[in-house]
């Protein structure tokens, strides 16, 4: 896998099981506007943020307490020339015990700096993993995109355009 793929990670004082449960609770950390299921192999769900971003995901690998992989079946961005930039990419969540902690590493395979959406997506993934998912795992309460309310500066800017 190319090192140009977007990657971000968190280290938590919780078990791999707690991390796995949070990852599969997409409504708890990414968006309350998820349609479908996001917990087991072959589940499919649709994420949407206003009329700006929609993504159809399928869970193609699920290893409890170790790994979750989503395939992006379809994607729409209102703000890029190629509205389908994420289509065909994969989002990999690796869960690794490190000493008495757990690392959660997200790698969006195919999200590369050459993509027009890269900076906005980098900011979004970083926020949702390092803030919202981290809070969901450590406190039980994430900060998902709720009812179309923007969570990042990029989401606020896109909502105004």
Under a CB-based contact definition with an 8 Å cutoff, are residues 72 and 59 in contact? no
Every domain of the chain and the residues it spans: 6-160
> Are 7 and 19 in contact, with CB atoms under 8 Å apart?
no
pLDDT at position 149: 57
Bridge partners for 7 per DSSP: 107
Instruction: State the CB neighbour count (10 A cutoff) for residue 82.
Output: 12
Give residue-wise pLDDT tens across range 137-161. 999 999 998 755 555 565 556 555 5
Place of tokens 């606020």: 156
Q: Give the pLDDT confidence of 62-93 residue by residue, as tens digits.
A: 999 999 999 999 999 999 999 899 999 999 99
Edge to edge, what strands does the sheet with 6-12 contain? Answer: 6-12, 101-109, 90-98, 67-77, 53-63, 44-49, 35-36
Q: Helix H segments across the chain?
A: 16-23, 26-29, 118-127, 134-139, 153-160
Which CATH superfamily, name and number, covers 6-160?
START domain (3.30.530.20)
């Amino acid at each position: 896998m190319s090192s140009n793929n977007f990657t971000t990670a968190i280290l938590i004082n919780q078990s791999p099981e707690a991390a796995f449960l949070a990852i599969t609770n997409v409504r708890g950390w990414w968006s309350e506007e998820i349609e479908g299921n996001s917990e087991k192999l072959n589940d499919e769900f649709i994420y949407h943020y206003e009329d700006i971003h929609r993504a159809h995901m399928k869970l193609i690998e699920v290893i409890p307490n170790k790994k979750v992989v989503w395939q992006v079946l379809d994607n729409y961005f209102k703000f890029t020339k190629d509205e389908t930039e994420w289509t065909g990419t994969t989002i990999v969540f690796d869960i690794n015990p490190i000493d008495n902690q757990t690392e959660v590493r997200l790698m969006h395979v195919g999200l590369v700096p050459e993509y027009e959406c890269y900076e906005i997506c980098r900011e979004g993934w970083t926020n949702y993993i390092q803030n919202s998912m981290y809070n969901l795992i450590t406190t039980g309460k994430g900060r998902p995109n709720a009812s179309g309310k923007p969570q990042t500066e990029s989401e606020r800017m896109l909502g105004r355009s």
